[in-house]
Amino acid sequence: MSVYVVGLSKIHNLEGMGRYRQGVPGTLAQYRGRLAIRGVVDDVLEGTVGPDSVVVFEFESVEDARRWHNSSEYRGVREHRLGSADSTLLLISAPPDGASTRNGIPRT
C-alpha cells in the first residue's frame, strides 16, 4: 500500500523555501520515500483553498512516512519551510480498491 504526504503551502519567503526544496530530497530515501510531485497551483477549480505550491511525497508505509516526518534529518530542513510559508501537511493512505478507509469511507 502506498502512503502519501501532501504539502500545501502559501509561500511568503522564496529564498527560504528554496532551501527547503533543496534539502528535502536528501531526507527521503532512508525512509523508503520519494518525491512524487512538486508543482504550483495554476487555479483553484472549486473551493477556497489558497496554496500556491503543492508537493507530494510517496512512502511505502504509514510508519515510514511518520519516521521521516519525525526524523532529525527532516526536522533540520523543515525549519526552512516553517519560516517561509504557511503550510499544511496531510498523511494520506491509499488502501486497495474495495477496502474501507480508517474512517469507514469506501474507496472508489
| Ordered structural domains, the chain, with CATH | 3-93 (3.30.70.100)
Interatomic CA distance for residues 65 and 56, integer angstroms: 12
pLDDT of residue 1: 81
Task: Name the residue with cell 497551483.
Answer: 41
Interatomic CA distance for residues 107 and 87, integer angstroms: 27
Mean pLDDT of the chain: 89
Interatomic CA distance for residues 86 and 96, integer angstroms: 32
pLDDT of residue 47: 83
Mean of pLDDT values over 62-91 = 95
Residue 108 has pLDDT above 60, yes or no: no
Residue 97 has pLDDT above 70, yes or no: no
Residue 75 has pLDDT above 70, yes or no: yes
Interatomic CA distance for residues 56 and 40, integer angstroms: 12
Q: pLDDT tier at 21 (50, 70, 90 boundaries)?
A: very high
Interatomic CA distance for residues 85 and 101, integer angstroms: 30
Which helix (H) or strand (E) segment is 89 a member of? strand 85-93
pLDDT in tens, 30-54: 999 999 999 988 888 888 777 889 9
Mean of pLDDT values over 90-107 = 70
Total residue length of the chain: 108
Interatomic CA distance for residues 25 and 44, integer angstroms: 27
Residue 99 has pLDDT above 70, yes or no: no
